[in-house]
């Protein structure tokens, strides 16, 4: 990310997030879905003038590694 903060130019490194998910049909009606976001728990880049944890949450992941699980039932 390139930008300016109070007329000072700045640049940040590229960040790659690794996510994985899987779904499994238990039968014709039930679906189970689960996964993990930001598997490597990559830290966000610091950005001058950043508003949340010194970064930009609309660009970088500020939460860290998260897990999720959901189910669906079709009538």
Query: Given pLDDT bands bounded at 50, 70 and 90, which one contains residue 50?
Result: confident
The count of domains in the chain is 1
Would 28 be classed as within a structural domain? yes
Would 10 be classed as within a structural domain? no
Query: Given pLDDT bands bounded at 50, 70 and 90, which one contains residue 56?
Result: confident
User: What whole-number distance in Å separates Cα of residue 62 and Cα of residue 3?
Assistant: 19
Would 66 be classed as within a structural domain? yes
What pTM was computed for the model? Answer: 0.73
Would 52 be classed as within a structural domain? yes
Would 5 be classed as within a structural domain? no
Which pair of tokens denotes residue 57?
């949450």
Would 57 be classed as within a structural domain? yes
Would 56 be classed as within a structural domain? yes
User: What whole-number distance in Å separates Cα of residue 71 and Cα of residue 33?
Assistant: 6
Across all residues in the chain, what is the average pLDDT?
Answer: 88
Would 65 be classed as within a structural domain? yes
For 36, the domain range is: 16-73
| Spatial CB neighbours of 7, under 8 Å, sequence gap ≥ 6 | none
- DSSP symbols for 28-65: SSEEEEEEEESTT-PPPPP-TT-SBTTB-TTTS--S-S
Q: Residue 4: what pLDDT?
A: 61
């Amino acid at each position: 990310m390139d930008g300016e903060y109070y007329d000072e130019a700045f640049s940040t490194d590229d960040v790659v997030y690794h996510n994985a998910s899987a779904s499994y049909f238990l039968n014709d009606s039930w679906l189970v879905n689960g996964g993990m976001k930001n598997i490597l728990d990559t830290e966000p880049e610091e950005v001058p003038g950043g508003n949340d944890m010194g970064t930009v949450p609309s660009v970088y992941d500020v939460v860290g590694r998260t897990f999720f699980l959901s189910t669906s039932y079709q009538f």
